[in-house]
Amino acid sequence: MNSPFYLNFPIKPLPINCLGRYTLLMEEKLSTPLLDGHDYKPVKTCPKCKSVFVTDSECEGCGFQLSYTPLGEAFGEKSLYGLKDDYWMFRSRLVKQWPSLERKNSTDAIKYKRDLLHRYELLLNFLLGESDEDRSFYWIEFKDLCIELCDYSLKPSELSQMLNDHSFHGYAPLIHDFLEELDHRKLTTSTLWERFVGYKVLGILRIKFLILSGIALAAISTASILVYQYFLLFT
């Protein structure tokens, strides 16, 4: 049986000058277009799912928003109305029926107030800035947002302090006038309401106590009627 035959060739290292010429040649080839004559450009992909089916605004594969803006739409999910819907969605049926029973010092209420303040800062910076965009819808939301913040124990004077030195930029004059009007309106309303609920009937019981007692009695009576109807129907 014949033994295998191998060809042995001596391997010599290339000179330094040859390596330099080969390196320059490879760099020249890499920097020139491909052989088919097309100069290919990098493909735009989605940073989330790596899909190539993307537009200038979103990914068609996973829906990821490429043109992300923290402000969002005026009546979208990031707006006051979206935040308010998300907050009240998880309130009890009793609180939804009588909002005055809401505990505004609870953890959820404090977080909701913090989200409202963040939204206020975003809208304030947008309304004070220079923009050709129609901001009328954002102005409507901004006024509703100020009223909502005042309902959560924030004073209009505290909101106006965030204007700083932007007294004549964008919507600043309108914002200043609105907060002054809101402050005056809140002061008048709160004074009349405090006088009413603080009045003592026969010099003993305050009206506020009678109102809360009536609400609690109505809730207990409603629950009793529902329980009675349940046992009446299924027994």
The per-residue pLDDT for range 198-210, each reduced to its tens digit, is 656 566 667 777 7
**C-beta separation of 153 from 105 below 8 A:** no
* Range in 47-51, 133-137, 213-217 the model is least confident about: 47-51
Predicted pLDDT of residue 137: 92
Instruction: Give CA–CA dist 69/48, Å, rounded.
Output: 17
- pLDDT average, residue stretch 136-165: 88
Predicted pLDDT of residue 154: 87
Q: How far separated are the first and last CA of the chain, in Å rounded?
A: 102
**C-beta separation of 172 from 166 below 8 A:** yes
Answer yes or no: is pLDDT of 30 > 60. Answer: no
**C-beta separation of 52 from 60 below 8 A:** no
Of all residues in the chain, the percent with pLDDT exceeding 90 is: 19
Axis-axis angle for helices 107-128, 136-151 (nearest 10): 150
Predicted pLDDT of residue 167: 58
Neighbour-count burial of 115, counting CB atoms closer than 10 A to its CB (0-12 exposed, 13-18 middle, 19+ buried): middle
The distance of Cα 76 from the centroid of its chain, to the nearest Å, equals 9
H-type alpha helices, 90-206 = 93-97, 107-128, 136-151, 156-160, 172-197
Residues 6+ apart with CB under 8 A from 96: 88
Which of 11-20, 89-98, 123-132, 201-210 holds the top average pLDDT? 89-98
Predicted pLDDT of residue 200: 62
Quote the mean pLDDT of the chain.
75
Nearest Cα to Cα of residue 127 among 97, 102, 159, 100: 159
Answer yes or no: is pLDDT of 31 > 80. Answer: no
- pLDDT average, residue stretch 92-101: 85
- Residue 2 has a CB neighbour count (10 Å cut-off) of 4
